[in-house]
Amino acid sequence: MNDLAGKHIVLGLTGGIACYKAAELCRALIKEGATVQVVMTEAAAQFITPVTLQALSNRTVYDSQWDARERNNMPHINLSREADAILIAPCSADFMAKLLHGRADDLLSLMCLARPIDSVPLLVAPAMNREMWAHPATQRNLAQLQADGATLLGVGSGFQACGETGDGRMLEPQELLQDVIAFFQPKVLAGEHVLVTAGPTFEAIDPVRGITNLSSGKMGFAIARAAQEAGATVTLVAGPVHLPTPRGVQRVDVKSAANMLVQAVDSAGAATIFVATAAVADWRPASTAEQKIKKDASGLLPALEFVENTDILATIAQSPRAQSGALYCVGFAAESHDLLQHATAKRIRKGVPLLVGNIGPATFGQDDNALLLVDADGATEIARNDKLTLARRLVAEIAQRRKAAANPA
C-alpha cells in the first residue's frame, strides 16, 4: 500500500528515550509513500544522532533556527509551509509545556508556532515516565493543546525505560503509522457507530471437533478499520480468526453463530450502521456431545442431526430501530455464479437497503476482491482491488446512502 503517497510530513523529535522508535517511524512513513523532513531539538540529539535520521529520511536534518542553508534564513517558515502535517514523536512533557505557552526559542517550537494553523495540522505523540504523564500539569497541558487544535495520538502502557510500569510510553511506530494514515482519511462517518460482524463461526460437534468454513475475516476487519478511519465508533464482533484488531476498534470475540447473534443484537442497540460480513454457519449440530465421540468397532458412522441457525442480519434488519431508519443495515452475499440476480433477490429476502455481492471462491482468504453493490436503485460495481481499498470505497458508498436515508429529499 502507498497510503501516504504525496504527503510531506515534518517529523519533529524532542528529548526522550523513545527517539530510538522515531527512527523506525521515519522509515515506516517513507515506506508508505510519504516524504519526511526531520527536525530535532538539542535534547533529541542527546538520544539519537541526526546522522541516523538523515540516512533514513534521505534529507539533511534541521536542528537550528539559525540554519544558513535556507536563502532567507527562515527554516521555521519554509519547512512548515511545505508540510501536510507536523508530527512530534516523541513529544516530551517539557516540549508540550512549551507548545502550550507558544514559546519559540528553538527551531521546532518556533516552527510549530509559525505553522498556518488551519492548513498544517499538528500531531503529538507524547512519551514520558508514568508519573510525569499522570501529573496534573501534563494533563492540563494536554487538554489545552487539544483545545488549541493539536491532535493527540495517545500513549502506550507497559514497561518503561526507567524500570517503572504504567502509562506514558510512546506508541509503537506501526501504531503511529496507522494513526497518521487514519488522520488523512475523510471523516465521512463522523458521529456514526458502526457494528461489523466478521469471520467464520465454529459450531461444536464435541469438545474437539466442529463445523466451520474458509472465511478469513479479512474483508470485515478491513471494513472495521476503514469505518474507524472515517471517524466512526466501531464494534467488531469477530468469529475465530487470527487477525490483529484494527486500531481504535472495540473487538468482541465469539465462536458460534448463537454467540455471534447475542453479541451482535446487544451491540446493535447503540449502532447506527450494521455491516454483516460474517460467514455465519447456516446449521449447527442439534446437540453438542459432552465428551469426544469415539469410533467403535461396529463400523457404524455417528448420526449427526442439524438445526438451522438464526439469521443475524435478518433479525437485526427487522428490529424497530432498523425499520425506523435509525440503524442502516448492509448485508453481504458470497455467491458462486449469477451474482447480480442472487444479490438482488437476497437483498429483498434479508430486508436490507444495501447488499454487497462478491464471488465467494474468488475471495475467501485472498487479499483482494471485487464488489457489486445492490440497492433499490440498481447495481454499482467496485472494481477489483485490495480489501482495504475496497473497504474505504464501500464506507464512502454507505456514508452517502446512510445520509440520504436519514435526510430524505
User: Which residues bind to ligand CTP, rule: CB under 6 A?
Assistant: 197, 257, 276-278, 280, 282, 309, 311-313, 331-334, 346, 350
Nearer to ligand CTP among residue 110 and residue 312 (C-beta):
312
Cell of 5: 503517497
Nearer to ligand CTP among residue 247 and residue 346 (C-beta):
346
Minimal distance in Å, beta carbon 264 to ligand CTP?
A: 8
Residue indicated by cell numbers 500513549: 155
CA distances from 235 to 46, 214, 217, 325, 372 (A): 42, 23, 14, 19, 24
Cell of 178: 496507522
Bridge partners of residue 234, in order along the sequence? 194
3-class SS of residue 189: coil
Minimal distance in Å, beta carbon 309 to ligand CTP?
A: 5
CA distances from 368 to 126, 305, 323, 359 (A): 36, 36, 33, 12
Nearer to ligand CTP among residue 172 and residue 282 (C-beta):
282
Minimal distance in Å, beta carbon 183 to ligand CTP?
A: 30
| Known active-site residue 91 | no
For the chain, the 3-state helix, strand and coil shares in percent, each to the nearest 5, are: 35, 25, 40
Nearer to ligand CTP among residue 233 and residue 277 (C-beta):
277
Minimal distance in Å, beta carbon 282 to ligand CTP?
A: 5
- DSSP letter string, 74-130: -HHHHHHHT-SEEEEEEE-HHHHHHHHHT--SSHHHHHHHHS-TTTS-EEEEE---H
Nearer to ligand CTP among residue 135 and residue 251 (C-beta):
251
| Catalytic position from the list 19, 26, 91, 162 | 162
Minimal distance in Å, beta carbon 391 to ligand CTP?
A: 15
Cell of 119: 492548513
- Known catalytic residues are 162
